[in-house]
Structure 1
Amino acid sequence: MALLEAPPRGTDAQPPRRGLFDGRIGSVEVLAVVLVLLVVFRSRVADLLSGPQMSTWTTVFVSVMLQATPFLVFGVALSAVIAVFVPRSFWAKALPKHPALAVPVASCAGVILPGCECGSVPIAGSLIRRGVTPAAALAFLLAAPAINPIVLTATAIAFPGKPGMVVARAVVSLIVAMVMGWLWIRLGKAEWIRMPARPELDGLSKPRAFWAACRHDIIHAGGFLALGAAAAATINVVVPERWMLTVADQPVLSVLVLALLAVLLSICSEADAFVAASLSQFSLTARLAFLVVGPMVDLKLISMQAGVFGRRFAARFAPTTFLVGVGLAGLYGWLFL
């Protein structure tokens, strides 16, 4: 009976040690199985990696990453400088008091904020907390990632010999931002916006806050860039050429497909021009829709907007921005491209 007695109080009962084959599968077991499979099928894996499709995939992926990474790093650094060292009250003082006039001014102010959409969402939230009218803050949110000098320079390099794409991206993005700001004045409701605090940089010295902002943005934006580059490379390799050509030959369908692709890929605005340039089978109008919609509506932005402004806001703002962006990009491309 002594063997069945509970351990005395004050002593820790040691849990039984689990054996290697106790029925639970962990990361070590998964790694072991993967290594065994690689050894067993090493010849087939070698053939796959050395094949022409994998070579094409690697070429597209590496080229997109190499072209986009300098702009991503530079944009994140400058965005952190502005977010940390420029007083937030500056934006409220610089904008007109009338909401309808503040919208175009806030939209054009995006030119002086070199950064990606990941930084524009919290900045727009801080603008609203500082008393800026929501319409102006939302117009700034949409315009800043699309018309700042870093993004436009990257677009010019990604589309050499096509300055019209740079102008088109700047003009259409600016118009979309202003239209959405004016629509908010007309149709928006204050209760749709919920503003939580953003304390992650509070209490830090400015140098520490700067590096913290850089680390946060580069990890998130760099990860999405790698995913976007991989997706672009996969599209170039996996999707049959005839399918791409079939979609590309349909003017309306191609615009919608690339706009939806921009939402799904969630590429940082400093890098999306290089991905768009790689989709050369599509028309300039379709690629313009990709460049306009991507910095304004994508999966990471929708989640960030829901976290900063609330789900009710994101559920209304994101679909409306998508429709306005696709419509204006298609109209501009039909008229001028």
Structure 2
Amino acid sequence: MGELVTTSTTSARPSAEKDSGLGSLEVLAVVLVLLVLARDQLAGLLSGPALQTWATVFVSVLVQAVPFLVFGVVLSAVIAVFVPRGFWAKALPSHPALAVPAAGVAGVILPGCECGSVPIAGSLIRRGVTPAAALAFLLAAPAINPIVLTATVIAFPGQPLMAVARGVASLVVAVSMGWLWLRLGRTEWIRLPHRPDLDDTSKARAFWAACRHDIMHAGGFLVLGAAAAATINVVIPAAWLQSLAGYPVLSVIALATLAVLLSICSEADAFVAASLSQFSLTSRLVFLVVGPMVDLKLISMQAGVFGRRFAWRFAPATFVAAILIGSAFGLVLL
């Protein structure tokens, strides 16, 4: 089949933690002790309204995302351990250009959000799926699955075309980005982190090893993304958005940017979009198309799973494509 990515099976570098006898559990214990000792000072700092808002947003992003991250990690481990390497060559069309839309449509079967799709896409590439197809799946799955589309119908009663426009526009963006990767993407831009060899151990041990690896790697970047989203929520005044609602072009750009900054789970973002009633339906559609594909936590996770060189190229290109395609479908259907 098309372009394949192979990952290096070189041995892991010796860990400095092993040499010093200090592991992640010991570091965590030290941090917890310090937090307990400084609890009075921290309580005083967190009493301010801004920091309370920051903590609320930070926790809410994690609470929304973690269940789907775990789901994606488990499914990724199942793909890595139990699915034969040759399965994907048979399941997807052999021609990469045809494999991209097939993988995008396959996103319908994943009942989760963008946090779960990142480790799954990484696992698909490890199992020989052409990166373009895996990336189309990564973008489509959080936006066109039945749970997200049903939530959109409920959030916009009497406006079923909003769910239709969201699903079709998101699929078009996902397939377009997959084809763009076929045209311009380079294999060296994707640097999957070293994962312990899973073929030389039992299925059960390999499964848990894959789960531990992915949850630690993707989970850490999820925390960084959630912290960035919480900071943005506190820093940006809501009045700024209100002043942009009356300008068609600026309102689209504003809500697209807001979708990136808020980092809301794709299964809940429709209700946020519905509450922004001062904005046009087209700008709110762009909000729904951009959010599941480009947000702070997702960019952070993509940098952790695929490498920074990939994230700094792929995220801006997806952002622009989502705005243009989402706006076009909004003007035609809404």
Give TM-score, length-normalised by structure 1. 0.69
Q: Partners in 2 of 1:91 and 1:77 — Cα distance? A: 23
Per the alignment, residue 108 of structure 1 pairs with 105
Q: Which amino acid aligns with 2:126?
A: R
- Cα deviation code 1:54-86 (max 9, x no counterpart): xxx9xxx99xx7xxx8x8788567646643445
CA distance in structure 2 between the aligned counterparts of 1:227 and 1:37, rounded to whole angstroms: 19
Pairing 1:67-216 to 2, within 5 Å after superposition? 79=72, 82-85=75-78, 87=83, 89=85, 90-198=87-195
The CA distance in 1 between the partners of 2:118 and 2:198, in whole Å, is 15
CA distance in 1, matches of 2:187, 2:45: 57
For the residue of structure 2 that corresponds to 1:114, the secondary structure is coil
Tell me what 2:297 maps to: 300
Q: What TM-score results when the alignment is normalised by the length of structure 2?
A: 0.70
**Are the aligned partners of 1:107 and 1:139 in contact in 2 as well (CA < 8 Å)?**
yes
How far apart in 2 are the matches of 1:36 and 1:267?
A: 29
Residue of structure 2 equivalent to 1:329? 326
Question: Take 2:275 and 2:197, find their aligned partners in 1: how far apart are those partners?
Answer: 37
Q: Tell me, yes or no, if structure 1 residue 267 matches structure 2 residue 264.
A: yes
Q: What amino acid is aligned across from residue 288 of structure 1 in structure 2? A: L
Aligned counterpart in structure 2 of residue 254 of structure 1, from 248, 251, 255? 251
Count the aligned residue pairs: 289
Q: CA deviation at 1:327?
A: 0.6
1:277 aligns with 2:283: no
Deviations 1:11-58 (A, max 9, x none): xxxxxxxxxxxxxxx8678654677899xxxxxx9xx99xxxxxxx9x
Contact 2:195 2:213 in 1 (8 A): no
Q: Which runs of 5+ in 2 are unaligned?
A: 1-33
Structure 2 residue identity aligned to 1:100: A
Identity within the alignment, %: 61
Distance 1:219 1:162 in 2: 39
Work out which of the two has the higher radius of gyration on C-alpha atoms and give 1 or 2. Answer: 1
Residue 187 of structure 1: CA displacement?
A: 1.1
Distance 1:100 1:74, change over 3 A: same
Matching residue's letter, 1:156: V
Q: Does the Cα contact within 8 Å between 1:77 and 1:214 map onto a contact in 2?
A: no
For residue 198 of structure 1, report the CA deviation from its aligned partner.
Answer: 4.0
The alpha-carbon deviation at position 139 of structure 1 amounts to 0.8
1:83 aligned partner, one-letter code: S
Check conservation: 1:172, 1:292, Cα contact below 8 A.
Answer: yes
| Separation (CA, whole Å) in 1 of partners of 2:91 and 2:76 | 16
Cα gap change, 1:85 to 1:98, in 2 (>3 Å) = same
Task: Identify the range of structure 1 (129-138 vs 168-177) with the bigger mean alpha-carbon deviation.
Answer: 129-138
Name the counterpart of 2:312: 315
Give the deviation of 1:274 after TM superposition. 2.0
Structure 1 unaligned blocks of 5 or more? 1-25, 39-44, 50-56
> 1:239 offset after TM fit, Å?
2.6
Distance in 2 (alpha carbons) for counterparts of 1:160 and 1:167: 13
